[in-house]
Structure 1
Amino acid sequence: MIEEYADRVWRGEMADSIVDNGMDGKGVQTIAGGLGWWPGFGNVITFETEGELLLFDTSSPFSTAKLYEDVRAWSSAPLTSAFFSHGHIDHVFGVAPFEQDRRATVYAHEAVAERFARYVLTNGYNSVINQRQFQAPNLRWPMDYRQPDVSYRDALTVRAGGLTFELFHAKGETDDATVAYVPEHRLLLPGDLFIWVTPNCGNPQKVQRYPREWVHALRRMAALDAEIMLPSHGAPIFGAARIRTALLETAEWLESLVTQTLDLLNAGARLDEIVHTVKPLEHLADRPYLRARYDEPEFIVRNLWRLYGGWYDGNPANLKPASDAAIASAVAGLAGGASALADAALKALADGDERLAGNLAEMAALAAPDDAGVHRVRAEVFSTRARTEQSLMAQSIYTWAAAESAKRA
């Protein structure tokens, strides 16, 4: 029973999040009469009402066929309306198979179309960073997107079939997010504004996120007093008290990072000091929905600096620095060669200072890019770092770096 499954996730007995797809491949799960939940990497919320099929989010280009098959096993009604919670590709690619006989109406925030245009402009970059993030070397970023038919700026109410979709715009992980509330089911659809891990608003390879605005969105959602919440990643939450707790504690956790960062920024601290000073709230550390498994607090701090402080980090040497390779070559010369830096990296790794080991190993490789021995050390350092990190963001970047050097060792 889906309520029992959701209860186990709530109690931390099993994981279902943007990182742990607990019920991926299980097909549409009926939540209530005419309401279904399709779990995957990019959940889809399904509605059958007055002979119409409605979808909130439509998953990724990699699961289009499976989504269509599973939804059709749940309902044969024609798709008349679809809602995009935002423009990330794991939410917007499942409409086409349903439109073979008739075109649906797609609703989204006005910035979704701007996102799609940017994806075309930076197609190569998005291919590279997502290959690295998901360890998918053959991934190619899409060029063609299903454009919304109806867009809005602040809020929009849509009547579809026998249901009401109260939509409002929020900033958080993206600048184009839509939250939906369906009063007939007392249902909250937060999209990616709740993903069963710490908020994804520091992602080091992606465009600007909005942590402070995300806090406001979480509290606005909590005030709706929903009885069911179906995120676009991770398990359902049932019960108004649990929903409010999850949303408000996430807001408290994130607001603390925002406040600490802004206090230090306003005091004139450098980015380096802020990154190594700001800490998440300890009393919320055991919450199953606040584990740093995807993004992490340190990256959120850096994103806040980028949002409020620009790119200059307060270190005058970094305003117009020498190239990384030139600095590495100079340091290697002082140390007695790139191999000496590599040895120092291994010592730091053995001493448990993985951060310093990473710096030294990278310097060694930049100073001697063709030295197989140096690359063996770099591969060892970053593979070790990947194994000891908790967040997917850190794991993926370190794994990619280790693989680069393994090929050259």
Structure 2
Amino acid sequence: MTTTTSILQQAAEMWAARREPASLAEPTLDRAEEVAYGVLMVPGFGHAFAIRHEDGLVLFDTGAALFAKRLHEQVTAWHTGPVTHAVYSHGHIDHVGGLRRFDADADAHGRARPVAIAHENVLKRFRRYAETQGYNTVINRRQFRSPGLIWPAEFREPDVTVADTHVIKVGGLRLELTHHRGETDDHLVGWLPEQRILFPGDLFLGVAPNAGNPQKVQRYPVDWAAALRWMASLDAELMLGSHGVPVVGADHVRQALENTARYLETIVDQTIACLNDGATLVETLHRVRVPDDLAGLHYLQPLYDEPEFVVRNVWRQFAGWYDGNPAHLKPATDQQLATELAALSGGAQVLADRALELAREGSHRLACHLAQLAGDAAPDDTAVHTVRAEVYSLRTAQERSTMSTGIYSWAEAESRGVVAGTDTMSELASTAPEH
């Protein structure tokens, strides 16, 4: 563990300064570095790792397809041996997109392709992605403010699937894989016992856990917390997550994992207590709080997901979809309700104007309700949508997480599209950052 690199230095400085990351993609370096003896880290939105052994390399995660060329170039520049195995920590597309160039290498040299290993549920995920390609395209364009994104429908499938545990033994290397549910139901954790290096995949992100995510399928915060405590028990010296920066030193690794477990456990416990008290979902969202000692930790900042979204996922897992408000059991359409309330209040413009007043006062939650009602009541009214756009712009400006900013900026773009006579995609395209 004596190797010193700029990535590890960045990690050490970040921990010492308790500095929160600028984004989920840190470190922002664009080149690979050897972060431990025989272990190469290739940074990206989803990092990939190459582990050297006597007969070649094992990849742990393979990054996104967009960065496959760079992954291949940096790995092969580091070591010219064949990739014998590749592990998908889980089936998200920023982890499974980089293997085909290594397949092509193998074909060109007349040798066996890398053996891709994943949990058995990855195959179900790939089928679901193909069946819901349109939905996943829409929600990921919205989440990442990336109007050109097209969700893939074809994937490099694993050759070997794992139910619970699996050990890769090759060229003197022993890499242990263990299944846990957390962000997904198809997650594998990697462990190099001799070097005491842990590969948690997305079970440790360097930001608050992605355990809520309003637009995605069920997360498993109870299981996730248990997985974090199990990983803490390994006493790893180095933790190489597939996002964020490495965590160096057994004490730091243990602290990070145990505190992240406590973060999830307190949200779960408080939510279940509210359920048992007969609280509605909205009441629960406003009651559950992350303790100050956890909320202040640099690696638990809500920069991607948020605590109240985790509450919703706990509710969904333990209580179903009914939120406790009987009017929501069999609701009127949004437009019917909005039209009635607009008529009662004096028109959609009255709702819109009050929404803007509230937003400028900082009452963003209530402002969004009224702005949404105004827009639903007057879907083609440019004056109303000018206000709606400003309300959501003000809301976006005071949000921190990727989830919230993506949805609120999308809503702003919808209204700006009405005003300009364009569509949401073209409006977003003019302002969206690159991804």
What band does the TM-score fall into relative to the shorter chain? Answer: over 0.9
Stretch deviating more after TM superposition (219-228 or 69-78): 69-78
Is the CA contact 1:228–1:238 (under 8 Å) kept in the aligned structure 2? yes
Mapped to 2, the partners of 1:385 and 1:21 lie a distance apart of 26
- CA shift, 1:18, in A, is 5.5
1:58 paired residue number: 62
* Count of residue pairs the alignment pairs up: 408
Instruction: Tell me if structure 2 keeps the 8 A contact 1:17–1:196.
Output: no
Q: Corresponding residue for 1:232?
A: 242
Residue identity matched to 1:250: T
Find the partner of 2:345 among 335, 345, 353: 335
Q: Which runs of 5+ in 1 are unaligned?
A: none
Instruction: Give the match's secondary structure for 1:192.
Output: coil
Q: Which moved more, 1:362-371 or 1:348-357?
A: 348-357
State the distance in 1 between where 2:166 and 2:72 align: 27
TM-score (normalizing by structure 1): 0.98
- Kindly indicate whether the alpha-carbon contact (under 8 Å) linking 1:58 and 1:93 is maintained by their aligned counterparts in 2: yes
Are residues 1:9 and 2:9 paired? no
CA distance in 2 between counterparts of 1:353 and 1:163 reads 57
Between 86-95 and 71-80, report the one with greater CA deviation: 71-80
Kept in 2: contact 1:81–1:160 (CA 8 A): no
Does residue 32 (structure 1) correspond to residue 36 (structure 2)? The answer is yes
Unaligned runs of 5+ in 2: 107-111, 420-435
Which segment drifts farther, 302-311 or 6-15?
A: 6-15
Equivalent residue of 2:65, what SS? coil
User: What does 1:30-179 correspond to in 2, within 5 Å?
Assistant: 30-100=34-104, 101=106, 102-179=112-189
**Superposition map of 1:285-324 within 5 A:** 285-324=295-334
**Do the aligned partners of 1:171 and 1:210 also contact (CA within 8 Å) in 2?**
yes
- What percent identity do the matched residue pairs reach? 49
Give the aligned partner of residue 275 of structure 2. Answer: 265
- In the TM superposition, what whole-angstrom CA distance separates every residue of 1:283-327 from its partner, at most 9, and x where no partner exists? 122211110100000100011111111111011110001011100
The root-mean-square deviation of aligned C-alpha atoms, in Å, is 1.2
Q: 2:255 aligns with which of 225, 245, 253?
A: 245
**How is 1:304-383 mapped onto 2 (pairs within 5 angstroms)?**
304-383=314-393
Are residue 201 (structure 1) and residue 211 (structure 2) matched? yes
Bigger drift between 311-320 and 69-78 goes to 69-78
Whether contact under 8 Å (2:359, 2:395) holds in the other structure is no
Q: In 2, are the aligned partners of 1:17 and 1:195 still within 8 Å (CA)?
A: no
Between the aligned partners of 2:20 and 2:195, the Cα distance in structure 1 is 26
| Corresponding position of 1:181 | 191
- What's the CA shift for 1:23? 2.6
2-structure distance, mates of 1:383, 1:161: 56
Provide the rounded CA distance (Å) in 2 between the counterparts of 1:185 and 1:55.
16
- Tell me the CA shift for residue 239 of structure 1: 0.7
* Aligned-partner SS, 1:62: helix
Mean CA deviation greater in 161-170 or 214-223: 161-170
TM-aligned CA deviation for residue 17 of structure 1: 7.1
In 2 relative to 1, CA 4–24 (structure 1 residues): closer, same or farther, beyond 3 Å?
Answer: closer
Deviation of the 1:19 alpha carbon: 2.3
CA contact (8 A) 2:18 2:298 kept: no
On the 8 A contact 1:17/1:197 being kept in 2, the answer is: no
Report the Cα distance in structure 2 between the residues aligned to 1:143 and 1:321, rounded to whole angstroms: 34
Q: Secondary structure at the match of 1:193?
A: coil
The answer (yes or no) to whether the contact 1:24–1:41 under 8 Å persists in 2 is no
Q: Is the 8 A contact 2:166 2:176 kept in 1?
A: yes
Deviations for 1:34-55, whole angstroms, at most 9, x for unmatched residues? 1111111000111121131110
Work out whether residues 64 and 96 of structure 2, in 8 Å CA contact, stay in contact via their aligned partners in 1. Answer: yes
